[in-house]
Structures are given as C-alpha cells and as structure tokens.
Structure 1
Amino acid sequence: MSSMNGKRITVAVLVAAGLLSPVPAGAQVRHEEPAGLRQALDATVAAGAPGILARIDDDRGTWIGTSGTADLDTRKPVPREARFRVASVTKSMVAATVLQLVQEGRLSLDEPIGDRLPGQIDGGDQITVRALLNHTGGLATYDNAAEFADPEQYGKRTYTPQRLIDEAERLPQPERGRFAYSNTGYILLGLLVEKVTGHKLSGELDRRIFRPAGMTRSYLPATWDGIRGPHATGYHLPTGADPGQPGALRPITRLNPSFAWAAYGVVSDARDLNRFYQALFSGRLVSQNLLTQMRTGVATPQAPIFPRYGLGLEAVGLTCGEMWGATGSIPGYETFSFADATGKRRMTLSVNVHRNDPAVARMLLAAVDALNRYFCGEPYKLPGGAAKSR
C-alpha cells in the first residue's frame, strides 16, 4: 500500500444466505455470508472507520454487507449501493486504457514519454511509458508538496495537470529504476492518452472501459465537487489531530477533484469495480499477453501485505496466495478492490474515512483480514516475523 493521498482502505458487514432458484431476470442471487467476515467488518469500524461497505461477486451470487454508519451526525447506515471516490483504483483503469493503445499499435510501452509530450517533464527522454505505469520513473509524487497539506484548502482549488507536474518537479526526486509511488506519473499518462487519441481522458475511459465493462455508475469528474447518487459522508483526520477526541474526524465529501484527475479521480461503486476487474481479468479489455505484463510486478516497500506493483495493478499477499487489483486513498474515502486470476471471484471494500495517523494500521489490517476471509476462507496472518517488524 502506498502512503500517498492516491491510496488505501477497508470493508463491511452482513446481508445474505440462501440461493434463490429460479431467479427472475435481473435479480441478484444472494451469496452466503463468508465465515468471520462480519467480525472483520466490525473490527474495521472498531479500529476507527465511521462505516464500511463490502461487496462480493462470484459464480455463487452477490453478497453485500455494511458496518458502522454513513454519517456521524445522522447515524444512518451505509447505503448498499453507495458511490465513492475510488482513488488510486483509477490507475488500473488508466493503465488499461494505455494498454489498449499499445494493443492498437498507437503506443509502445518502452518508448520515452518525452517523445509524445516533449518538454512536459524534465528527463522525459529517459522515462518510458512502462516506468510511469509501474512507478519506477524516478518522479516525486506531487501530493507530497506543502501545497497539499490540508485537503480542506486544496480541495477548493482548481489545478491543471501541468500545475501538478510543476509541484512535483520542485521536490527531491527518487532514484530512477526503483519503485517509488508517484501520482505524477499517472497525470502524465492521462495527458498521453489525450495526446494520442485527441479526446478527453474522461471520454476515453467511458468509451474504452466503463461502457464495455457495464460500469454504468462510474465517471471521471473534472472540477464538480459532488458525488452523484447514494453515498456515505466522507471524513478525514487533520494532521496532528487526536483521533480519540470527539469531532476529530471532519466531513470532506465535497471537494474539487482536479488535484486527483488521472491519478486518483474516478467516482464509482463496489458493483462497478467488481465488474471492471471481471472484464479486465477475463481478457475483455486487453489481450492476455498485455494482462500478463500488467501483473508482472516490481517489489514494493509494502511487502509482504502488498508485495508487488505491476502496470497499474497491485498485488495483495494473502495466506492462500496473491490476488491482484488496487487500493486507493483520497480525502474522504479508502478502497480495496481485488480479484482472483480469472476475475471470477471479486471483492471490493469501501470505508468512508481517510487517515494517515499510526493507529490507522489496525483499520487497514482489519480490511485485509476481510479480504482474506473471503478469498482464503481463514483469518489473515502476517507471514513470518513481519508482524513484529511492523
């Protein structure tokens, strides 16, 4: 998992059991509740999440569960069809769009970004498209700049992609060739898609990803600060605030998402994210050869929990092996969305808070436990001495 604004999140509780047969056209077949999943969702809330939503989709049906609340004032439950800002799960969608252009012969993974976007970034003649996709391009992430310290301030401003790139170039740059999570790289990839296609990124995502995958509740906003449809109130913990104090979590549902754009700006829901990874991993969006490259990952500092990052895809290391998908974190929301190798088994979790304090580790591990209980059928355990080291 990355520590940037562009990443992270958790899970939910309840609803279900009993297969319905026969099933009316368009009706959901209800999936039995996986053992221990309710406790994992409740543990996420107990660790500091206001509320959590979990959705499972596989050949046994659909299971949706929630725990906690959608709003700390009204205490309303989290909507079962809640929309949310998916944050860095956006990167999987942008990566799939780039790879479609590669598949069409309009791009090469190993061409320098400077060939298509001359002068857009220093050293662009030495940074390949592949390096941007897997965060080895040696680019600082712009959201580490002081400009982005307070989301209640920067969330009211409008940013151009070039302004975000300029902020990144003023920061110390990481070593090229090694993994260093960078939202800046995906801003460049968004510009690359627009340059090659001649169309807005939002339109290309809709045409190439959302519509083919049946993602009817998904969109990439430009500057509009709201969320369409049912949603939970999003919260954040200001830097230095004591999470144990009443009122420490501040609502931040409405914000101008121009700071996130191609890096972590998409709004969606759990159903659509599960549909996305089903379409991607079944080979409907990109070829199997390119999908293999997407899941060929470089080592990350988040091992063993999130050990590898590929081309817009992240691995989660569960007790029964690795699953691929992505995590996301943005002021207001955190997301986990993963699937098995075929895309037949999918699970998405959304929690309506973004926190960076040390205590958040318990919340995140509870979310990973929820994933593990579904995919592996047992509680999550950190491998070897990892628990002590963390």
Structure 2
Amino acid sequence: MPPMNGKRMAIAVLVAAGLLSPVPAAAQARHDEPVGMRQALEAAVSAGAPGVLVRIDDEHGTWIATRGTADLDTRGAVPREARFRVASVTKSMVAATVLQLVQEGELSLDEPIGRRLPGQIDGGDQITVRELLNHTGGLATYDEAAEFADPEQYGKRSYTPRQLIDEAEGLPSPERGRFSYSNTGYILLGLLVEKVTGHELSEELERRIFRPAGMTRSYLPKTWDGIRGPHATGYYLPTGADPSRPGSLRPITRLNPSFAWAAYGVVSDARDLNRFYQALFGGRLVSQNLLTQMRTGVTTPQAPIFPRYGLGLEAVGLTCGEMWGATGSIPGYETLSFADATGKRRMTLSVNVHRGDPAVAHMLLAAVDALNRYFCGEPYELPGAASKAR
C-alpha cells in the first residue's frame, strides 16, 4: 500500500493531534499587525517549517511577514514576494473556470462527465460535473498509487492526463455520493474545459481567471520543472525518515509538475492568491448564484478544522465562524489561503516544506492559529478541546 498523499495525511494527523498549545499574545502590536501573529509563525517554524510567509490584504492595506529561512544551506530570508506551488488551491481556479462555462450555458453542473468525455472514466455516464467538483463522484485519487510513492522519482517524469486516470482506475473506488478527496476528478475537469473551449487549460486560466483578477505572477506549467521569480527552496520529508535528524528534509524545488496539472499544478504567490479570492468572492468571476453553490459544502471527515467542501472551495472552522478558500499540499510547499464572505479580508500563508509525519500536525495547527488570530482576533482552539483537556 503506497503512503497516503500529503494533504490527506496532514489533515488526518491534524485531527488526531488534539489542541495546539496557544502561544502568548504580544503585549503590544503595531496597528497593522494582528496580535500574536508573529508568535504563531514562529510556532510553525519551531514545529518543523524551514520558512513561513504570510500576507494579509484588507481595507487597511497590506501586511507581510516571514519567519525561518528560505534555504537550509544558505540560511537566507524567505522573499516577501516569494512564488510557490499553490497545490490544491488550483482547484478553486479550475472550479471557477468550469462555473463560468456553466454561466455561459456551455455546461450543466448536473450533466454526466461522460457526455462530453465518453470513455475517459469508468461510470462516466453517471458521475456529474458537480460530483467531480465536490469530490463525491466515487473516484480514487491517482496519487495514492504506488507510482507516486517517491517524489524524487515521479517528479522527474512526464505524465499525460490519460496516464493519471489509468493509475486511479487501478485503485479501489470509494463510495459514490460521499466525500472522498480525489485529484482524479480535477484532471477530468481540466480535460472538460479543454474539450468545451477548444483551448489548453493554461490558456483558459490566463484568460478567465489570472488576467481579470490581476494575477500577473501566476501560471499553470505543463512540464517545466522550475519556478519563475523569487522563491524559497522547497523541501519534503521522505517516507519513514526521522524529522529530528539533521539533513532529513530533502530539497525538491525543481520537479516536473505534469503529475499535478489541473488538480494541483498552479504556481503563484500570496499577493495573487489574495487577489483571486477578492475577485471571486467580490462577484467579478462568477455570478452570485453560482458563488453560493461554490460555498454550499458537503461534510468532510476533516471536521471540525476543515468541516465542509463545496465546488472547488473548502471551509476552515475558526472560532468566529467559517471562512472559505483552500489548502494545498505538494512536494516542496504547503499553502492555506482564505477570505471572508465578501473577499475584503484575505490571508495567505505558505510554508516551504511538505511533510507526512505525525509531527506535522503541530505545524499546521500553528498555521490555522495564524488564520484565527487575523480573522477572529484570538488564538485558535479546537472545538471541545478545552473541556476535553479538563
């Protein structure tokens, strides 16, 4: 059995980890700096992130902070405008593209994927576009195949969408109608966009999403293994490695992203991700009706931290309520990007490591704590954790 993919492993250990010990709030903070934010970022570094970057954009302006290092050898600072692989935040952008086609009358959310892509997936005459968007189509996720056990190997290969789908069809299928995270569904959605528009997905994202939202630093690579512009070195922890041993984190900044493509392949930065959710939630990319459907979520096993998943969007359960956006995990980087309902308050956090060990729970809880300190003005606490500790 190959290892659980990084995103699902990280969420699983988060839920099992219990409460992150709150870090003390700063006695005083600048007007534009959320109280306790810097301590939350330092907690993420202490828990295993080489470096961390956070950017906040709202009506008061912009606040950017970094902690840790961009490279474990040179010990340089994380660039304030660092690019990174945003991983599954890509799904929000692909979903918005699909919903634009729905808005234009080119697609229906409830039509079977097999109508446009006959023969691409078993059961395609039953699985709807909506089910692909919210991970209820009963599709295995291809990245759990043995082929994807070692990123230093698969990150050097080129994959076609057909090969990724074939890998998924060799795995046991989850129950249709229940949430089961599947990158395979978004590979199919990428093919759907290309079939309906007659253009490559990267072109449609540029035309429909990046350009209208002002995302001038974002792109979807096909096979090129580098990252344009300033960036931190990305690291990963090999399966079974002891994270406490020096040198256990391996650099993996360069990798052929064809294995991720429409599911989790976009490269961007914190400014652009905040611009994306500002444009999306501000009604500039899809209609209000479709935006409401995007934020109508199915229950996930990751509750209460990530309780619901909509159409390419996921909710994070903070102490002051739910915020919507997405998380992403790919060899080299992990990302959390969320906004309030209007898109006026946005925060993106990036760490330059991908880990699947249980200790990663403390790192990710520190990231959620940082989100909570901005959106809610207080430390994060898992619902029921205080009473459970008592």
Mapping of residues 297-308 of structure 1, within 5 Å: 297-308=297-308
Distance, in Å, in 2 between the alignment partners of 1:235 and 1:105 is: 43
Distance, in Å, in 2 between the alignment partners of 1:386 and 1:209 is: 42
Q: Indicate yes or no: 2:58 matched with 1:63.
A: no
1:337-387 CA-to-partner distances (Å, cap 9, x unmatched) read 000000000000000000000010000000000000000000000001499
Q: Indicate yes or no: 2:352 matched with 1:352.
A: yes
In structure 2, stretches of 5+ residues that fail to align are 12-25
Distance, in Å, in 2 between the alignment partners of 1:172 and 1:248 is: 32
Provide the TM-score with structure 1 as the length reference.
0.93
Distance, in Å, in 2 between the alignment partners of 1:359 and 1:121 is: 37
Distance, in Å, in 1 between the alignment partners of 2:6 and 2:240 is: 16
Paired residue type of 2:317: G
In structure 1, stretches of 5+ residues that fail to align are 19-30
1:301-360 CA-to-partner distances (Å, cap 9, x unmatched) read 000000000000000000000000000000000000000000000000000000000010
Distance, in Å, in 2 between the alignment partners of 1:387 and 1:277 is: 35
Matched with 2:217 is: 217
1:6 deviates by 5.6
Matched with 1:323 is: 323
Matched with 1:42 is: 42
After superposing on structure 2, the runs of 4+ consecutive aligned residues of structure 1 that deviate more than 6 Å are none
Classify the secondary structure of the residue corresponding to 2:328.
Answer: strand
Mapping of residues 174-323 of structure 1, within 5 Å: 174-323=174-323
Query: Compared with structure 1, are the counterparts of its residues 138 and 387 closer, same or farther at alpha carbon in structure 2 (3 Å cutoff)?
Result: farther
Provide the TM-score with structure 2 as the length reference.
0.93
**Is the contact made by 2:277 and 2:339 (CA closer than 8 Å) also made in structure 1?**
yes
1:75-94 CA-to-partner distances (Å, cap 9, x unmatched) read 00000000000000000000
Classify the secondary structure of the residue corresponding to 1:147.
Answer: helix
**Is the contact made by 1:293 and 1:311 (CA closer than 8 Å) also made in structure 2?**
yes
Distance, in Å, in 2 between the alignment partners of 1:276 and 1:356 is: 28
Distance, in Å, in 1 between the alignment partners of 2:89 and 2:110 is: 23
**Is the contact made by 1:42 and 1:67 (CA closer than 8 Å) also made in structure 2?**
yes
- Identity level (%): 87
Matched with 2:23 is: none
Distance, in Å, in 2 between the alignment partners of 1:60 and 1:375 is: 14
Classify the secondary structure of the residue corresponding to 2:72.
Answer: coil
**Is the contact made by 2:6 and 2:356 (CA closer than 8 Å) also made in structure 1?**
no
Matched with 2:380 is: 380
Classify the secondary structure of the residue corresponding to 1:306.
Answer: coil
Distance, in Å, in 2 between the alignment partners of 1:364 and 1:302 is: 13
1:5 deviates by 4.2
Classify the secondary structure of the residue corresponding to 2:107.
Answer: coil
Distance, in Å, in 1 between the alignment partners of 2:109 and 2:344 is: 28
Matched with 1:164 is: 164
Paired residue type of 2:315: A
Classify the secondary structure of the residue corresponding to 2:358.
Answer: coil
Paired residue type of 1:266: V
Matched with 2:79 is: 79
Distance, in Å, in 2 between the alignment partners of 1:134 and 1:387 is: 33
1:4 deviates by 3.2
Matched with 2:365 is: 365
Distance, in Å, in 2 between the alignment partners of 1:58 and 1:385 is: 31
1:32 deviates by 1.0
Distance, in Å, in 2 between the alignment partners of 1:342 and 1:48 is: 33
Classify the secondary structure of the residue corresponding to 1:126.
Answer: coil
1:388 deviates by 5.6
1:256 deviates by 0.1
Query: Compared with structure 1, are the counterparts of its residues 386 and 91 closer, same or farther at alpha carbon in structure 2 (3 Å cutoff)?
Result: farther
Matched with 1:4 is: 5
RMSD between aligned alpha carbons?
A: 1.8
Distance, in Å, in 1 between the alignment partners of 2:155 and 2:184 is: 17
